[in-house]
Copies of this chain bind each other. A is one copy, B any other.
Amino acid sequence: MTDLTPSFDEKSPLYQQLYRHIVSLIRAGELREGEKLPSKRALAAHLGLSLTTVERAYGLLLSEGYVESRPRSGCRVCADVRAPGETPPAPPLPRREDEPRLNDCFSTSAVDTSLFPYATWARLSKEAVYQNPELLQRGEAQGDLPLRRALGDFLRQYRGVRCAPEQIVVGAGLEALMWVLLQLLPDGVFALEDPGYAALRRLLDNLGRPYVPIGLDGRGMDAAALGASSANVAYVTPSHQFPLGVTMPVGRRGELLRWAYERPGRWLIEDDYDAEFRYGSRPIPAMQGLDGGEKVIYLGTFSRTLAPAIRVAYLILPPELLESYRARSGHAACTVSRFEQEALARFLASGAYSRHLRREGLLYRRRRDALVSLLEGRGEIAGADAGLHLLFTVPGRDEGKMVRRAAEEGYRVRGLGEYAIAAPTPPGALVLGFAGLSQEEAPAAVGALLRAVT
């Protein structure tokens, strides 16, 4: 423990204690040269001291040269007040290691935000602040009703999802909703797609909770392996498996649903993370709708379609889980700002979101087409019918070597093995996102990539 701390004991006058406290902060380098002190009045009000006490403490600091005062600009810390030989300030904390600055245009989580509806969003945000004083108070744990209504209408029309607003829970990103699920399913043994999306696995690892990796075939999660496992909650991405890009056919969906119905306490989590984007293939509505929503917990997010910075995701709970959800999480506060909920509700209900999706779909289709045509003939392309990434395989190549050589060319690419838990992945496969690959950049970026992999 350090002794450079304010003590506010009973023995010495308060102004002296305040003075010593500030001196100690300056000496420790915690108040930096040129930094402005709060006004006397503000500090007095905040600390519950009289103005006189603060004035005397500031007076001492001034007279001893720790701070200087200029008319109308308050007190600032002087230069070079640390005496030689005094304890130096604490060494800088370890910083996040800077990764080499590689071009990450193939990122699978990139979003092109050039289409972001700035004007509309700014207007809706401002209206939300001004027009709804009651929005400042705490809202419903599962999110405000106008947003849940608009979302339910949207999902029913566009994804074939079947739900009432009471089943929807809004949260600040998929991970925040996974916390809700982990509380709701305390005895869940999770089946994870292998290879698959790592967020849920990391959470389970961090909490020391059990999970079972289940391999995939060309139709998605292996239903036989799932049935033979100890898992009771299967997490799947049927509309566009991450990272393989497989769209799960209706037959496999039926097999998984049958697994869920076989025993009580079994659930499917359908993460529909990038279902908004399909390129010419026939649509397969959400598994949640196939099932009528009895056994499927549905997850979706606006981070891919609006902007990663906007933290709004949602889950749809089967009616059977609602009561337990309310008992366990009904007291919690919703993790999304109510202003943002209101802005998004209006954005959805006005039809602006559908228009935005349409524009985005056209842009991403062009990017996909450009990437596919540049890659064609140089390897195998899979999973390009939907979503924002595809799988590119150059048979026989070593994945690690491809990633390293791409880095030497200045590009960050991800090998399929990065997403594997236990299952071996075919060699020579790269997971390439195209949402962040502009048409101008594509030829050079793909050129470098192809030099690296061939």
A residues with CB within 8 A of B: 1-2, 4-9, 14, 21, 25, 28, 30-31, 35, 37-38, 42-43, 45-49, 90, 92-96, 109, 111, 113, 116, 118, 121-122, 125-126, 129-130, 133, 135-139, 153, 156-158, 160, 162, 164, 166-167, 172-173, 175-176, 179, 182-183, 186, 198-199, 202-203, 206-208, 250, 257, 261, 276, 278-285, 289-292, 294, 303, 307-311, 319, 322-323, 326, 328-340, 354-355, 357-358, 361
Contacts and interface: CB of A to CB of B under 8 A. Distances in A.
Contacts of A257: 1
B96 A136 contact: no
B285 A5 contact: yes
Given A6-B160, A95-B166, A136-B308, 17 more contacts: A14-B282, A21-B285, A37-B157, A42-B354, A42-B358, A46-B158, A46-B357, A49-B282, A125-B126, A137-B309, A186-B208, A199-B331, A199-B332, A202-B331, A309-B338, A310-B337, A335-B335
A183 B203 contact: yes
A329 B7 CA distance: 35
Nearest to A284: B8
B323 A282 contact: no
A176 B178 CA distance: 12
Contacts of A328: 202, 206
Contacts of A9: 250
A25 B125 CA distance: 33
A202 B328 CA distance: 7
Contacts of A49: 282-283
Contact of A309 (B279, B289, B294, B339): B339
Contacts of A182: 207
B283 A47 contact: yes
A214 to B, nearest CB: 22
5 contacts: A125-B129, A136-B307, A206-B328, A309-B339, A311-B336
Contact of A175 (B279, B332, B340): B332
A179 B208 CA distance: 14
B164 A93 contact: yes
A219 to B, nearest CB: 15
Contacts of A331: 198-199, 202
A453 to B, nearest CB: 26
A130 B118 CA distance: 7
Contacts of A311: 172, 333-337
Contact of A283 (B48, B133, B179, B276): B48
Nearest to A175: B332
Nearest to A202: B331
Contact of A172 (B176, B285, B329): B176
B8 A283 contact: yes
A365 to B, nearest CB: 10
Contact of A354 (B7, B38, B133, B179): B38
Contacts of A164: 90, 92-93
A208 B279 CA distance: 45
Nearest to A254: B1
A105 B310 CA distance: 34
Nearest to A386: B48
A167 B125 contact: no
Contacts of A179: 179
B322 A93 contact: yes
Nearest to A173: B333
A162 to B, nearest CB: 6
A122 to B, nearest CB: 4
Contact of A358 (B45, B93, B340): B45
Given A1-B257, A126-B122, A164-B92, A7 B157 contact: no
A96 B330 contact: yes
A337 B340 contact: yes
A166 to B, nearest CB: 4
B133 A113 contact: yes
A122 B116 contact: no
Given A199-B332, A311-B336, A183 B158 contact: no
A279 B334 CA distance: 31
The residue in A28, A43, A137, A323 that gathers the most chain B C-beta atoms within 10 A of its C-beta is A137
Given A121-B129, A129-B118, A279 B323 contact: no
